Amino acid sequence: MDSLDVVSLSRVQFAATALYHFLFVPLTLGMSFLLAIMESVWVLTGRPIWRDMTKFWGTLFGINFAMGVATGITMEFQFGTNWAYYAHYVGDIFGAPLAIEGLMAFFLEATFVGMFFFGWDKMSRLQHLICTWLLALGANFSALWILIANGWMQNPVGARFNVDTMRMEVTDFAAVLFNPVAQAKFVHTVSAGYVTGSVFIMAISAWYLLKGRHVEIARRSMTVAACFGLAASLSVVVLGDESGYVAGENQKMKLAALEAVWTTAPAPADLTVFGVPDAENHVTHFEIKLPWVLGLIATRSIDRPVFGIQDLVQKNKGRIENGIKAYAALDHLRKNHQDSAALVEFKIRQDDLGYGLLLKKYTGDVAHATPDMINRAALDTVPNVPVLFYSFRIMAVLGFYFIALFAYGFYLSYRRKFEQKRCFLWLALLTLPLPWIAAEFGWVVAELGRQPWTIDGVLPTFLSTSSLSVGQVFTSLCGFILFYSSLLVVELYLMVKYVKIGPQEKQS
Please report, for the chain, the start and end positions of each structural domain, with discontinuous segments joined by +.
2-251+383-499, 309-379
Task: Residue 354: name the closest of 150, 168, 164, 501 by CA.
Answer: 168
> Of 227, 201, 205, 207, whose CA–CA distance to 218 is shortest?
205
Average pLDDT over residues 393-416: 94
What pLDDT score does 505 carry?
A: 64
Mean pLDDT of 309-332: 95
Q: Distance between CA atoms of 183 and 180, rounded to whole angstroms?
A: 5
Q: What pLDDT does residue 312 have?
A: 96
pLDDT per residue over 29-69, tens digit each? 999 999 999 999 999 999 999 999 999 999 999 999 988 88
pLDDT one-digit tens code per residue, 97-123: 988 887 777 778 888 999 999 999 899
pLDDT of residue 109: 81
Rounded CA separation 316/375 (Å): 9
> Backbone dihedral region of 315: left (phi > 0), alpha (psi from -120 to 50 degrees) or beta?
alpha
Q: According to the model, what pLDDT value does residue 4 have? A: 52
Helices and strands in the chain, H and E counts: 19, 6
Average of per-residue pLDDT across 10-25: 88
Does residue 435 have a cis bond before it (omega within 30 degrees)? Answer: no
Question: What residues form DSSP beta bridges with 161?
Answer: 168
**How long is the chain?**
508
Q: Is there a contact between 407 and 230 (Cβ–Cβ < 8 Å)? A: yes
Backbone angles phi, psi at 500, to 5 degrees: -65, -40
Q: DSSP assignment, residue 393?
A: H
Three-state DSSP state, 506: coil
SS3 state at 93: helix
CA distance 169 to 18: 26
Q: Which residue has the higher pLDDT, 267 or 198?
A: 198
Q: How many CA atoms lie within 13 A of 506 on its CB side?
A: 11
